Amino acid sequence: MSAAPFALPGYVWDGARFYKAPASPARHTPASALRTASSAAAPHDRPESAGKKRKRARKAAQKGKGKLADSHPRADLANLGLGHWHSPARRDQLHHELRRASLERLSSVRTLYPDCIPVDDTILHLSFDDTAPATLRAGTSSGTIATGTLSRPPDELAWYPNDEEGWRTSWYCSSKVTSVKTCGNRFVATSLGPPAQAIVGTTSDSISLASVTLSPRKTSLWTSAISPSLLALGCDRKVLLSSDPTRAQMDAYVTGGNRGDGTVFALDLDRTQLHLSSPVTHVRHIKDQPHQLLAAGMDGFLGVFDLRFLPTPSAPARHLSETRSRPVVELKGHVNSFTVDLGLDVWRDEWVVAAGQDKRIRLWSLRTGRLVRPSSPASPSSWSSTFTSTALPAALAYSVPVPPAANPTHPLERTSPAPIHALAFSPLDPLRLREPRYASALAAGAAQRGEGVGVDEGARRARWGVPSLWVAEGAGVECFAVV
């Protein structure tokens, strides 16, 4: 059972969440029961026979069969206490550990190369459509925003004149794309500049609602955020807000105090004040836990904050460290020192995946703060495979270490040629996207959501409760899933 993140008077921690401590009266054991227990616990004067010793040894050996060693990757499942099914928290903890074990078996199942993106281009952002889960948008370093349909449509003539994945170029920007965000039936994309540009459109038929070009030309656009009622753009020294993106005028709020030198690299539409030791590169509210906020810093910090227990000092702090916010869960192992466009995504309130400046991908549990799988480059000392020469005499035989595979199937074991800039979770089952029945269910669910009738959750449910992971490398997108 994991330790409580903090002490909460009147509540007890069961490993996953706080519960109000029940008031139980003290129980008194009768003196007669104590005497009976003492007499039963008294040692026997008669020695144990050799036959009983052998029988007891056999029972102890059989009882230990099937147990996992502490170093085994599934050892945590054996320590969950499966008999405590009356506790919802224990059941939820068990399901979480089972999904963690499944994530250790991710493998590459599909690779996409949109023909509308040049091979020398680089995909910097990925975004799945909220209304049509099989629609994927990609923003590139050359300013191209491409849209693709991953499932096979009932009428294959609908692809014409696009390629077999239905990819098409939706918009062109003047410079590299810095963000692609989707909310309901609207989405926003920004380009760095100059001139910095933002495009607001609808997810259906790629209809453009507004295009914003910033002035002066030296202003850069780094990020964006969108909700059903608000649009926010992060610039060099300010944040632009608008409740109606079709208006020509937007409200500006200066950042960085009186000097106005605060560059906005990350945006979230919920107002919160955090103090970190380095510039913030990512901010994500966890949807299933609205009081929790995930933040990443340029110095490699990655952690989860509880917005209900943020410090509010009444007097000025003596040192800068006294004003910094402390996370309830710190995710250790993230590598970054100066990059602002590393890939990061959150799946519900369970997992966060982040790309490091060391060209590797890491996956953490948001509930325990632990890495799902050791994600460090393999060293020569860990190479267990050997090559033995059989052409020489046995006395002269030698062994040579053999390095691991250069392109392993698991994303957490790879070292990419360059840092990963775009990755995303999705509930899509990539092994069923070619099935007509699955594609029809996705299309029917999208039509129902567009009409406000309901949601086809069966088509949106992740395989084994584990999401698929889509990683962009160069001009291609690779999908990893549990097979």
- Is position 398 within any domain? no
- Is position 262 within any domain? no
Query: Which tokens go with 304?
Result: 């989860």
Number of DSSP helices (H) and strands (E) in the chain, helices first: 6, 27
> pLDDT truncated to tens, each residue of the chain (483 aa)?
667 777 777 777 777 677 666 655 544 445 444 444 444 444 445 667 777 877 877 777 666 555 545 445 555 555 555 555 567 778 888 888 889 988 888 889 989 898 889 888 999 999 998 888 888 999 999 999 999 888 866 565 555 555 455 788 888 888 999 999 988 888 899 999 888 899 988 887 667 778 888 877 678 899 999 988 889 999 988 888 888 766 667 888 888 765 556 889 988 887 777 788 888 999 998 888 888 899 999 999 999 998 887 765 544 444 444 456 788 889 999 999 988 999 999 998 899 999 999 999 999 999 888 998 765 544 333 333 333 333 333 333 333 333 444 446 788 888 899 999 999 999 888 888 878 788 777 777 655 544 433 344 544 567 778 999 999 999 999 999 988
- pTM for this entry: 0.74
Query: Which tokens go with 182?
Result: 């989707």
Q: Cα separation of 304 and 6, whole Å?
A: 14
- Is position 411 within any domain? yes
Quick one: pLDDT at residue 201? 85
Quick one: pLDDT at residue 137? 92
Q: Beta strands 344-347 and 386-388: pairing type?
A: unpaired
Quick one: pLDDT at residue 353? 95
Polymer length in residues for the chain: 483
Q: Cα separation of 3 and 289, whole Å?
A: 19
Quick one: pLDDT at residue 39? 46
CB distance 127 to 180 below 8 Å = yes
- Is position 124 within any domain? yes
Quick one: pLDDT at residue 37? 42
Q: Beta strands 221-227 and 230-235: pairing type?
A: antiparallel
- Is position 115 within any domain? yes
Q: Is 211 helix (H, G, I), strand (E, B) or coil?
A: strand
- Is position 241 within any domain? no
- Is position 270 within any domain? no
- Is position 418 within any domain? yes
State how many domains the chain has: 1
State the sign of the Cα–Cα–Cα–Cα dihedral 360, 361, 366, 370: negative
List pLDDT tens digits, range 60-76: 766 655 554 544 555 55
**In which element (H, E) is residue 438 found?**
helix 436-451
Quick one: pLDDT at residue 87? 72
Whole domain around residue 112: which residue ranges? 107-170+405-483
Quick one: pLDDT at residue 364? 94
Quick one: pLDDT at residue 248? 60
Quick one: pLDDT at residue 145? 93
Q: Is 278 helix (H, G, I), strand (E, B) or coil?
A: coil
The one-letter amino acid at 391:
A
Quick one: pLDDT at residue 259? 57
